[in-house]
Amino acid sequence: MVIVNMFTAAALWGLWKLKNSLCFQNARWRHVASLLQKIANMVDNWKVLCHVEKKPELELSLTNLKCSSNRPPRLLG
């Protein structure tokens, strides 16, 4: 549950920062991969807050997120 909470907090914080950039700094939306990468970087910075016994699970989840952010987007339709 700790890992889920860390990723959820990072995702919410990343979305908040993205919203602020779009609204107040006239930034342009690029793609989901850039948001996922920012979330992964935040979680990577927060690794020191994780308990030692949970670090392998965190590393696996972080690797999965980084891999999914590097995949090309899927075409729907």
Write out the H or E segment, with its range, that includes residue 13: helix 2-24
CA angle 59, 34, 43 (to 5 degrees): 30
pLDDT reported for residue 47? 93
Q: Which amino acid is at 16?
A: W
Tell me what pLDDT residue 70 has: 87
| 37: nearest Cα among 65, 5, 60 | 65
Amino acid of residue 36:
L
pTM of the model: 0.85
pLDDT tens sequence for the chain (77 residues): 889 999 999 999 999 999 999 999 999 988 899 999 999 999 999 999 999 999 999 999 999 999 988 888 777 76
Look at residue 77 in the predicted model and tell me its pLDDT: 67
Written as one string, the DSSP assignment of 22-35 is: HHHS------HHHH
